Amino acid sequence: MDVCHLTVGTELFFPVRNEGALFSCGDCHSAQGDGEVCVTGIESPMLVKLRFNVIKNMKIPSASVHYEEGSLTRKYESLGHYATTGIALDSIEIAKSAVRNMIVHLTSHIKAQPN
């Protein structure tokens, strides 16, 4: 995943469908835009510390990774944000998938308002 917002303190949410699933991490970049569409990244040696927790009953589509990060811009730094991604072969389908995944996330977190 080449997402420039994945920084210190970011929480990633992956769908896990198999008992004993494994995880690998590598190919750290000190600079790159979002995704491989920028072609060039500056790869750098980095120390990465990861902590894993299993959150049962969290609904994440198979073709998606969600993340929650504490600062999108300095103006809104204290607010944080939640993002969804999409995975597909075509950039239009990726965008559609990410939007659909956000709609699923938002509708599952809306609390019913009393009448």
pLDDT at 61: 72
Does the pTM exceed 0.75? no
Is 64 buried (19+), middle (13-18) or exposed (0-12) by CB count in 10 A? buried
Segment 78-99 shows an average pLDDT of 81
Percent of the chain clearing pLDDT 70 (strictly above) = 77
Task: Tell me the pLDDT tens digit for each residue of 40-65.
Answer: 777 888 888 888 888 888 777 766 77
64 contacts 84 by C-beta, under 8 angstroms: yes
Largest CA distance in the chain: 56
Residue 37, pLDDT > 70, answer no
Residue with the bigger pLDDT between 109 and 107: it is 107
Map out the domains of the chain as residue ranges: 11-109
Pairwise CA distance, residues 109 & 115, whole Å = 18
